[in-house]
Amino acid sequence: MLPDEFPAFLKSFTSPPPVSVRLNPLKHATLKGNAVPWCTRGIYLNARPRFTLDPLFHAGAYYVQEASSMFLEHLVLQLRLHQQPIRILDAAAAPGGKSTHLLSLIHPESLLVANETIRSRLPALTENLTRWGYPNVVITCNDPQHFGALKGYFDVIVLDAPCSGEGLFRKDASAVRQWSQEHVKLCALRQQRILQNLWPVLRPGGLLIYSTCTYNAHENEEVLLKLVKSKEASFAEVEIPPDWGILHSREPVSGYRFFPHRVWGEGFFVSVLRKTAEEPVQTVRAKPENVSPDVLQTLRSFLAAPVEMGYLRFSDQVAALPASLMQDAAWLMQKLNVVSAGTAMAKVARNRITPLHPLAMSVYLNRNTFPETPLDLGEAIRFLRKESIKVEGPFGYCLMKYQNVPLGWVNIVPGRANNLYPSGWRIRLMD
């Protein structure tokens, strides 16, 4: 691939990998650094801070993400996927980098289904999406073959495929240890199976965005060629500025390659396919469970959203999501193993309403509904460790914030303030 540039490629492994983050556009935090060229809110940091001890990280004000992966934004904007409501499947979503990025880009009434097959990876995905704070997402835990009941349902499928990880060799020693030719072959077979299972779920004219963090053609071009030869599909292309350093190959597959000696980022490959076949599209029919009017009146006061919101019963909780997506969410609950839908706003028991942590993280939280207490850095760290902190104010639920970004709830009762930060999320690292 790199006959003349191979020495420069090898030399890039002697330099430390860049540290990059992507800002949440609706949490309004500021971080200093150089801009990632293909991502409007991507930033290269001058040094790697201790993210675990930064309250803004826990508040979902930014996401720590490898810069090459942020190229997804350029594809979304160039292909105009942000201009109207659509349905998107992030088929291998954990830990949540591409899902959080998509939520920042797409129309507020678009539906994102963030799926993770491996159950042990679900907590990280759920936590990151909760921190990010957007309601138009359904989290599922399904094998790709389980999506067969959703034929023609999605406008876009994003598959960051499990791969051999060659593009991460500079920053991940375990990727080096695990690599072998047999592992590459196994990954290619797994990728082919996933694509064959997911392709029927894409509507006619829909787009598949396929990516890996590996270099070899077995897991990239060859996998996609087999799909194109067995299905009716064509490649979709976007324009890229030459000074970005990205290699755009057009034959036999149209794809975009990132090499660490050419870009300030790690190894990455991405390609976009369009479904050209005419096939039946799934009809959605489902009726969401009603929420009592008195509970609804209270819950509506908790949010200030740019779109009309609906409220969905989920076990003993009520979740909020755009009203236009209510039927879709209820239908998906019938078809898939749904972990969560929308923003889990409150636990409701006998009309007693207890606000939940995802409500504090919501980008649509009505900041006029609850009293707020600003915390300095030390207080915020103690709160995130789920330690007791002194809070003055009226009895009831109070929102803790750091640099005006919400962190979570305390419940002020006579003599103390109960810290309601999720126990499983608390900081365990010492200063």
Whole-prediction pTM: 0.96
Rg (CA), the chain: 22
Q: 61 pLDDT exceeds 90?
A: yes
- The whole-number pLDDT of residue 263 equals 97
Kindly state whether residues 147 and 271 are assigned to the same domain: yes
Q: Is residue 295 part of a domain?
A: yes
Name every residue whose Cβ is closer than 8 Å to that of residue 342 and which is 6 or more positions away in sequence: 135, 136, 137, 138, 312, 319, 320, 321, 325, 329
Average pLDDT, the chain: 95
Cβ-contact 307, 322 below 8 angstroms: yes
Percent of the chain with pLDDT over 70: 100
Considering the domain architecture, whether residues 261 and 404 belong to the same structural domain is answered as no
Answer left, alpha or beta for residue 393, where phi above 0 means left and psi between -120 and 50 means alpha: left
Say if residue 96 is exposed, middle or buried (CB neighbours under 10 Å; 0-12, 13-18, 19+): buried
Please list, residue by residue across 355-367, b when 16 or more beta carbons sit within 10 angstroms of its beta carbon and e when fewer do: bbbbbbbbbbbee
Using left for φ > 0, alpha for ψ between -120 and 50, and beta otherwise, residue 205 falls in left
What confidence tier does 431 reach under pLDDT thresholds 50, 70, 90? low
Q: Examine residue 283 and state whether it is found in any structural domain, yes or no.
A: no
pLDDT band for position 119 (cuts 50, 70, 90): very high
Instruction: State whether 355 and 396 are in the same domain.
Output: no
On whether both 144 and 185 belong to a single domain, the answer is yes
Asked if 19 and 48 touch (Cβ cutoff 8 Å), the reply is yes
| Angle at the Cα of 365 from the Cα atoms of 364 and 370, rounded to 5 degrees | 165
CA distance 358 to 310: 16
288: cis peptide before it, omega within 30°? no
pLDDT 10s digits, 77-116: 999 999 999 999 999 999 999 999 999 999 999 999 999 9
Task: Give the phi and the psi of residue 58 in degrees, each rounded to 5.
Answer: -70, -20
Q: Can you give the residue range of the structural domain that contains 414?
A: 371-431
pLDDT at 430: 62
Residues 351 and 392 in one domain: no
Per the model's pLDDT, the better-predicted residue between 289 and 189 turns out to be 189
With cut-offs at 50, 70 and 90, classify the pLDDT of residue 136.
very high
Same structural domain, 411 and 379: yes
The answer on 167 and 47 residing in a single domain is yes
CB 340 within 8 A of CB 361: no
CATH number of the domain at 409, please. Answer: 2.30.130.60
Kindly tell me if the per-residue pLDDT of 348 is higher than 70: yes
pLDDT tens figures, 160-216: 999 999 999 999 989 999 999 999 999 999 999 999 999 999 999 999 999 999 999
How far apart (Å, rounded) are the C-alpha atoms in residues 112 and 176?
33
141 catalytic per annotation: no
**Backbone region of residue 80 per phi and psi (left: phi > 0; alpha: psi in -120 to 50; beta: other values):** left
Question: Is 1 contained in some domain?
Answer: no
Nearest alpha carbon to residue 340 among 99, 156, 145, 159: 99
Over residues 352-406, the pLDDT tens digits come to 899 999 999 999 999 999 999 999 999 999 999 999 998 988 999 999 999 999 9
Mean of pLDDT values over 132-149? 96
Give domain status of residue 331, yes or no: no
Same domain for 224 and 103 = yes
Predicted confidence band of residue 267 (pLDDT cuts 50, 70, 90): very high
Query: Residue 429's pLDDT band (boundaries 50, 70, 90)?
Result: confident
Q: Across-strand partners of 256?
A: 248, 270
Instruction: State the Cα–Cα distance between residues 61 and 71, nearest whole angstrom.
Output: 20
Q: Within a domain: residue 280?
A: no
Nearest Cα to Cα of residue 42 among 73, 87, 85: 73
Active-site residue (options: 39, 141, 213, 398)? 213
